[in-house]
Amino acid sequence: GDSVTQMEGPVTLSEEAFLTINCTYTATGYPSLFWYVQYPGEGLQLLLKATKADDKGSNKGFEATYRKETTSFHLEKGSVQVSDSAVYFCALKGAGSYQLTFGKGTKLSVIP
C-alpha cells in the first residue's frame, strides 16, 4: 500500500537558519504530494502541493519539488522564522484515490 516516511523530529533551529525536512514515499502510479502544517492550537492546513513529476510547490517561502526518480518531496525554506514553529506533515494521495496518507509529522521549533 501507499506510505510516507518523513524525517523524525523534533528539529530545533535558530531564526534565519536553512530548513530541510526529508520526505520519501511509496506509491503505485502517479500520486499527488502535499505538505500540511499544524500550528500550535490549530487544525492542519495545506502548506503546498505538487501534482506531477518535477512540479515545485511553494508557499510562504517554503518549497518542495516532486522528484519521481528518488520518490521524494523534501520541504525546504531558506530562512526560518519563529512563526514557522509547527508540526509539518508530508502526505500523498494515490492515483484515483480520495484518501490522504500521512507521514508521522516533524515538529519544528525555531528559537530567536
Which positions lie near another protein, rule CB under 8 A? 31-32, 34, 36, 41-46, 49, 51, 89, 93-105
* Nearest distance from C-beta of residue 5 to another protein, angstroms: 10
Q: Which region, left, alpha or beta, applies to residue 61 given φ > 0 means left and ψ of -120 to 50 means alpha?
A: left
Smaller CB separation from another protein, 40 or 112: 40
Smaller CB separation from another protein, 80 or 94: 94
**Residue 62's CB: how many other CB atoms inside 10 A?**
20
* Nearest distance from C-beta of residue 94 to another protein, angstroms: 8
Smaller CB separation from another protein, 17 or 102: 102
* Nearest distance from C-beta of residue 38 to another protein, angstroms: 8
Q: Quick check: helix, strand or coil at residue 84?
A: helix
User: By the 8 A CB rule, do 56 and 72 touch?
Assistant: no
Cell 510516507 belongs to residue: 4
